[in-house]
Amino acid sequence: MDDDSVETDVVYLDYNATAPLRPEALEAILTAFHRVGNASSLHQAGRDAATRVDSARRQLADLLNCQPSEIIFTSGATEANNLALRATYACGGTLVTSAVEHPAILETARAITAGTSDDPVVLPVDKDGTLDLGALDAVLDRGDVSVVSVMLANNETGVLTDLAPIVKAAHAAGALVHSDATQFVGRLPLDFAELEVDLLSLSAHKFGGPQGVGALIVRRDTSLPYTPLLIGGGQERGWRAGTLNVAGIAGLGAAADAAQRQLKEEAVRVTALRDAFEAELIARVPDCVINGGRVARLPGVTSVTFPGVPADAILAAMPDVAASDGSACASGAPSPSHVLLAMGHSRDDADSTVRFSLGYATTRRDVERSVVAVARAVGRVRTLLAATA
């Protein structure tokens, strides 16, 4: 590794914010854009568009081991989460979720229960970011829970949730289970049939598809009140009206197919790169702390606290590395990461945390270059802070 090497291109380590478009997805999108056709039209052009959508539906169903008919295409995971919580909460009863969910869950839960006597129950996590199952059991014992919504993988730390005991306990108490699997899909194998959750959300751009398209998967035998967010022409079995985004959906399907073909090898390769990144970073910055580092995590994610060193200053000092302070959705907001606070971090530590997320196109060279840049940036900021203290 050459500490003094000068390279101008940026190392992209922000796959959890959005992954680069896979070439297969780009090709499918361009092909679709070159054709005319509304997937609801009955003429040949419409049938061609519908064929593209059907094929993407099958590709996604293959990746998830679900039925094509269980897929509702949406504009992304935000919409899928909104749809899932509205539909399940409409069954009547309490909505239960966790303190480390994405704002697309937490804010939706707050919004749809506002003005009712039914505040959502937000379950705590421990310092590793793992859900408190005892707290879940205590809420389920009340017997009035309509839905438990827990993410499969955290977007800030990559910490994974073991859904099996949650599903078992929730179903035994008569509650439905929804999982925001946005960061998990296309990165680790997922079997919707085996998982036994009732609803699952995903977004294409996290696994190499385009932004602005995603899906809600609803188990076929789940009976839910009809609560679409968008009402109109009745597309997606009435769950999501509006002309289908044929090119986006085709891109999602192609990305799902490409991700599936490389899933196991990619997971192993990216995990090894992440582990090397962490080991080399710790060697250079020994007091840094890996959040959730003791429990199972997504392959490419590492959330690193540099005590006493503000994350925004670190990011500014390494313009050749694209990483994130907290979650991208929250960046720009002055509040510290709710995920890190829920894990027991102080506000200062939360503000000194950088998320690096690696993915399918990350190379060993990217790791080598970024580790050098990060260590150098942390050193520079520390020197500056010491000089101005």
Does 102 interact with ligand PMP (rule: CB under 6 A)? Answer: yes
Among 180, 257, 349, 366, binds ligand PMP (CB under 6 A): 180
Does 303 interact with ligand PMP (rule: CB under 6 A)? Answer: no
Does 183 interact with ligand PMP (rule: CB under 6 A)? Answer: yes
| Closest residue to ligand PMP using C-beta atoms | 76
Does 95 interact with ligand PMP (rule: CB under 6 A)? Answer: no
Q: How far is the CB of 215 from ligand PMP (least distance, A)?
A: 11
- Rounded Cα–Cα distance for residues 45 and 30 (Å): 16
- Rounded Cα–Cα distance for residues 206 and 214 (Å): 10
Q: Encode 44-73: b = buried (16+ Cβ within 10 Å), e = exposed.
A: eebebbbebbebbbebbbebbebeeebbbb
What is the full DSSP assignment across 162-231?
A: -HHHHHHHHHHTT-EEEEE-TTTTTTS---HHHH--SEEEEEGGGTTS-TT-EEEEE-TT-------SS-
Task: Single out the segment in contact with ligand PMP by CB under 6 A; choices: 107-115, 176-184, 273-281, 311-319.
Answer: 176-184
* Number of residues engaging ligand PMP in binding (CB under 6 A): 14
SS (H, E, C) 267-280: HHHHHHHHHHHHHH
Task: Single out the segment in contact with ligand PMP by CB under 6 A; choices: 22-30, 139-147, 179-187, 220-228.
Answer: 179-187
Catalytic position from the list 66, 91, 288, 329: 329
Does 329 interact with ligand PMP (rule: CB under 6 A)? Answer: yes
Residue 79 tokens, joined: 């919409």
Does 266 interact with ligand PMP (rule: CB under 6 A)? Answer: no
Residue indicated by tokens 């919580």:
85
Q: How far is the CB of 67 from ligand PMP (least distance, A)?
A: 23
Q: How far is the CB of 110 from ligand PMP (least distance, A)?
A: 16
Which is nearer to ligand PMP, 195 or 375 (by Cβ)? 195
Does 359 interact with ligand PMP (rule: CB under 6 A)? Answer: no
- Rounded Cα–Cα distance for residues 127 and 20 (Å): 32
- Number of helices (H), then strands (E), belonging to the chain: the values are 12, 12
Does 337 interact with ligand PMP (rule: CB under 6 A)? Answer: no
Among 37, 76, 251, 300, binds ligand PMP (CB under 6 A): 76
Task: Single out the segment in contact with ligand PMP by CB under 6 A; choices: 57-65, 72-80, 227-235, 293-301.
Answer: 72-80
Using only C-alpha atoms, what is the Rg of the chain?
Answer: 22
Does 179 interact with ligand PMP (rule: CB under 6 A)? Answer: no
Q: How far is the CB of 329 from ligand PMP (least distance, A)?
A: 5
- Rounded Cα–Cα distance for residues 153 and 100 (Å): 10
HSE-CB at 58 with a 13 A cutoff on CA atoms is 5
In the range 104-163, which residues lie near ligand PMP by CB under 6 A? 104, 151, 155
Count of all residues that appear for the chain in the document: 389
Does 219 interact with ligand PMP (rule: CB under 6 A)? Answer: no
- Rounded Cα–Cα distance for residues 88 and 224 (Å): 7
Helix (H) or strand (E) holding 365: helix 364-388
Does 182 interact with ligand PMP (rule: CB under 6 A)? Answer: yes
Active-site residue, 288 included: no
Cα of 108 vs its chain's centroid, Å: 16
Q: How far is the CB of 37 from ligand PMP (least distance, A)?
A: 25
Does 203 interact with ligand PMP (rule: CB under 6 A)? Answer: yes
308 φψ region: left (φ > 0), alpha (ψ -120 to 50), beta (else): left
Does 178 interact with ligand PMP (rule: CB under 6 A)? Answer: no
Contacting residues toward ligand PMP, per CB under 6 A: 76-78, 102, 104, 151, 155, 180, 182-183, 203, 205, 214, 329
Supply the residues annotated as catalytic: 329
